[in-house]
Structure 1
Amino acid sequence: MVYLVTIMLYLGILIAMGVVKSRKIKTQSDFAVAGRSLSPWVLVGTMLATWVGTGSILGNAGKAYEIGLAGLLLPLGGVCGVAVLTQIADKVRGIEKFTVPEIIGDRYGQTARVLSVIALVAAYMVIVSYQYNAGGAVLHTVLTDDAGQSMLSLEVCTLIAVTVIILYTMLAGLVSVAYTDVANGVIMTLSFMIALPILWHTAGGWSGMEEAFAATGRESHMQIWGVYSTFDFINFMLPPFLLAMGDANMYQRFSAATSSKGAKTATMFLVVAVIFIEGAIISSAWISSSMIENAENGRHVLIYASHRYLPTFLGAIMLTTMVGIIISTADSFLLVPSTTLMRDVYLQYINPDADDRKIVLLSRLLVLALGIVAYVVSLGFAQSATFFDKALYAYTIYGAAITPSLVAAFFWKRATGAGAVASITAGTVVTLLWKEAGFVQDLVPAAIYQNCDAVLPAIFTSMLCLVGVSLATAKPERQTEA
């Protein structure tokens, strides 16, 4: 009951905060980029809470249950991507755009802009969908007793998560999300700092874990090297690296900074924060996995460990923080496509002269519509794959399609509109067809096809098209200026 009361209290506070903040939303700038008023420290908190979402606390943690200590290598791709962002953040703030497709459209033209909208919305709907599933999984675990009986079904718990996420995002946009993220980031950091030594002691330290893993035939869980193949490294590291470099959530937050300098400063601190939190998450999952033999419980290892192995109050705080991070990440990935469709479709092609009141209203309705679409997607993903696999798939769609052209917009003057169009199209098509179209398997050597996920062929084809077509076409007449 303590767990449920704590989480429900937190959700109530979230909604109340959203209602209060919603009264201050007057323009699209307020709703989409918080009026460009976020300080560096608020930016660090909101970017951290956005990046460390379900992909970390359920995806990477669940993978750590499967592979053990080697899971500490999983965040390297994302960390490297965030490190690259330190060289982009001030440039993004300097051009004062709202969305990634705006940046791409300004640099490459309207065709590239529209294609990037399609790729962004498709990828982000997948990401939001598994945030829904994760929120439902946490609530369902909290409501499950020692006999394995839950007060509510997983489907109902997921619907509750969906409702809270959509409502909270509709109310105040980035304003409410950003400041809640700061609180979530602080609580998350403190919670893991306290929980790690408790879990370590409960597991019996290094020797206790060695014995537990040996007893269940998982001796390799104590090894950090020799677990991954070369293809494993590529399949696991490349998607989050590409997403981090081009994530529209990060770019939207750069645009919300008070200054270019503040955006860059926040991103530099973010690198350190991500290393610490991701390491703490995976270490906690690895330690907890030595005490969990049931693979189904291991799929939600941190949720299960917080519920079973931590003191009640700390476990309640941990679970509440997980709910907060899931909601925050889902809000962010729901807000970005709604802002994108408003800026890059409605205001560009349908009603360029819409007033601020109408824009804010339609932005909220778009959040509702996209939230429902993501829920439909979540129904198909509910049991079809692990959170880790879902995350890699969504990251690949976005990273292969958009990131090469987006990064080139800032660093390669020779990139052309035709090259960007070819790159976005190729990245999207290869990602969608790699494992789904039968003819691909007939064309690719079996050893490569069986071991290589879509990310390597997709990013290779995307970059090849960007460079090859750009060099084969006329130099662009204008460039994006930082």
Structure 2
Amino acid sequence: MNLTFAGVDGIIILSSYAVIMLVIGYLAGRGKNLSKSMSGYYLAGKNLGFVALFFTLYATQYSGNTIIGYAPSAYRTGFTWLQSISFMTIIIGVYLMFAPRLYVISKRLKFVTPTDWIQHRFKSKAVTILSIFLMLWGLGNYLLEQLVAIGQAVAGLTGGTIPYQYAVIAFVVVMLAYEWMGGMKAVAFTDVMQGIVLMIGIIVFLIGALYLVGGNFASVTTFIASTEPAKVGVPPADATVNWLSMLLLVGFGAAIYPHAVQRIYSAKSERILKRSFSRIAWMPPITTGLVFVIGIIGIMMFPGLDTGGSEQLVGMMANEIAAINPFYYWVMILFFGAIVAAIVSTADSVLLSFSSMVSNDVYGKFINPEATEHKKVMVGKYSGIAVVILLLWLAWNPPGTLYQIFVLKFELLVQVAPAFILGLYWNKLSAIPVFWGMLSGALLAGLLTLTGNSTVYGVHGGVLGLALNFLVAVIGSYYASVSSAEESEAKEMTSLKIEA
């Protein structure tokens, strides 16, 4: 994503974004000792209003990688990549299957992390530990993806003036600083800032790209039909199967991201939560849809790029757009600064959730159950620093393209979905079948990935594992002996009553 036009101006904009983030972190934590409360630090006191909740949900679903990674994917695959819009849409559908119900229960039982629900529902150390491992795997993978993207984005925005490694370290320090000061509240408020700039930037980027191809999208499709007809043709059957498989993988995987679930917990009220989801439902065509169009226009602007070259598509297009006039020049710099801020904002959400699970689920539940909330928060803060150092070591030699990293993290994370969602509605779902279903699904998905068979006839290994997981959990629960007392307890736990 190298921008030959940016240089010093890019450094100024990035420095400005960094200062704004630090100021937000300071203001979010000023006068409050957030470290004394798990709920206060990790969930903003469960008091996020509509604007903050909407934008933090938006930032959770759409990172800067949506622009950097999805436009090149559209470039390489053509109109088949329309599926990216449905990826983001189905996530909202899955949210609505469980989010309002889970919110009411979490409010009553004072949940902090997603596995608080798993522990309360199944009362099984085996199920809890396995779900913790799978969720931490997904978070660690996702955080690695963001660290790789930060380095690429900053190096690109500054025209290579700031090297990849220095870029990652600089913004990781900024992220740790404002997150340390303001916790979830700082994260949510930075999401508001970057979300607004990102939305405006995508629209201006698209207008500039259309201007460069004559202002007529029809001419783009005509060009593609004549030069690369496969990209406008009907996709083959295996591509369609792969698309349906990806819908399940992303839909269930992204909806149960720990940092996404914690945003459900953070809502001020159920009404605000539902209102935020009703607005987020409009974002897939506005965000992912416009990025798809940008990638398609790129086919005409820069034909014949290989995979490595296409990964630089957004930066190459931005260079051309910035040359139109000074207005586009500065909007492009602000836009790419917002992309960096968006990536950092996603990374801070993931890191916050990771540290909360280490402190609450690993340390608080199994190592030191008598620890005070202050002690657990501090353990979470220091563990966050430790995991960032480990992942920085991996980020120096990033594995594969951003899209490949994006796919990898869902294979294991999605195996938590049956226990998490089905447990909200089916009181006979039993702990032992849930454990063996989750384990067998994770082993199958992991085995297929490690042996290079990430898809079988177009179906992702994670989806095959999810199917096995679901069958074992459901069939096993039908045959497992669940006492009437246990079933009654599960019914009581999943009820929607609200205590005074």
The alignment's TM-score, normalised by the length of structure 2, stands at 0.87
- 1:292-334 CA distances to partner (integer Å, 9 max, x unpaired)? 2433342143343234424211101210111111111111111
Matched ranges for 1:57-136 at <5 A? 57-96=67-106, 97-109=111-123, 110-136=125-151
Deviates more, 1:112-121 or 1:384-393: 384-393
Q: In structure 1, what is the equivalent of residue 18 of structure 2?
A: 11
In 2, the alpha carbon distance for the partners of 1:108 and 1:59 equals 38
Q: Do residues 341 (structure 1) and 358 (structure 2) align?
A: yes
The equivalent position to 1:366 in structure 2, one of 369, 376, 383, is 383
2:311 equivalent in structure 1: 299
Return the offset for 1:89. 2.0
State the 1:4 CA deviation.
2.3
Partner of 1:180: 190
Correspondence 1:466 to 2:476: no
Contact 1:192 1:280 in 2 (8 A): yes
Q: Deviation of residue 54 (structure 1)?
A: 4.6
Cα distance in 2 for residues equivalent to 1:16 and 1:421: 45
Q: What are the ranges of 5 or more consecutive residues in structure 2 without an aligned counterpart?
A: 1-7, 323-327
Which amino acid is 1:107 matched to? Answer: R
DSSP 3-state at the match of 2:460 = coil
Whether the aligned pair in 1 keeps the contact of 2:18 and 2:171 (CA below 8 Å) is: no
Distance 1:121 1:373, change over 3 A: farther
State the AA in 2 paired with 1:130.
E
C-alpha deviation, 1:450, in angstroms: 6.3
Aligned to 2:9: 2
Matched letter for residue 348 of structure 1: K
Q: Would you say 1:284 and 2:298 are equivalent positions?
A: no
- Partner of 2:400, secondary structure, is coil
Q: How many residues align?
A: 466
Equivalents in 1 of 2:276, 2:113: separation in Å? 19
Q: Distance in 2 between matches of 1:422 and 1:257?
A: 33
User: Is 1:268 equivalent to 2:282 in the alignment?
Assistant: no
Residue correspondence of structure 1 range 3-402 to structure 2 within 5 A: 3-23=10-30, 24=32, 25=34, 26-96=36-106, 97-109=111-123, 110-144=125-159, 150-204=160-214, 205-210=216-221, 213=224, 217-223=227-233, 229-293=239-303, 294-295=305-306, 296-310=308-322, 311-379=328-396, 382=398, 384-399=399-414, 401-402=415-416
Cα deviations across residues 334-360 of structure 1 (Å, max 9, x unaligned)?
A: 111211121112121233333333233
* Structure 1 residue identity aligned to 2:369: P
Is the deviation greater in 52-61 or in 194-203? 52-61
AA of the residue aligned to 1:364? K
Aligned equivalent of 2:3:
none
Q: Counterparts of 1:405 and 1:289 in 2: how far apart (Å)?
A: 43
Q: CA 1:336 to 1:85, structure 2 compared with 1: closer, same or farther past 3 Å?
A: same
- Please give the secondary structure, in 1, of the residue aligned with 2:424: helix
Q: 1:55 & 1:426 partners in 2: Cα distance? A: 31
Shift of 1:471: 1.7
Secondary structure in 2 matching 1:410: coil
- 1:420 maps to 2:434: yes
Paired with 1:321 and 1:227, the residues of 2 have a C-alpha distance of: 38
Aligned position for 1:407: 421
Deviations 1:209-247 (A, max 9, x none): 2465467x4333345755962332134322211123322
The RMSD of aligned alpha carbons is: 2.4
Distance in 2 (alpha carbons) for counterparts of 1:214 and 1:261? 48
Q: 1:223 to 1:52 in 2, by over 3 A?
A: farther
In structure 2, C-alpha distance between the alignment counterparts of 1:459 and 1:161, rounded to whole Å: 36
Are the counterparts in 1 of residues 24 and 189 from structure 2 also a CA contact under 8 Å? no
Q: State yes or no: 1:436 paired with 2:450.
A: yes
Percent of aligned pairs sharing the same letter: 19
Structure 1 position 392, deviation (Å)? 1.1
Going from structure 1 to structure 2, the CA distance change for 1:454 and 1:22 (only over 3 Å counts) comes to same
Equivalents in 1 of 2:223, 2:72: separation in Å?
Answer: 18
* Counterpart amino acid of residue 356 in structure 2: T
* 5+ long unaligned stretches in structure 1: 145-149
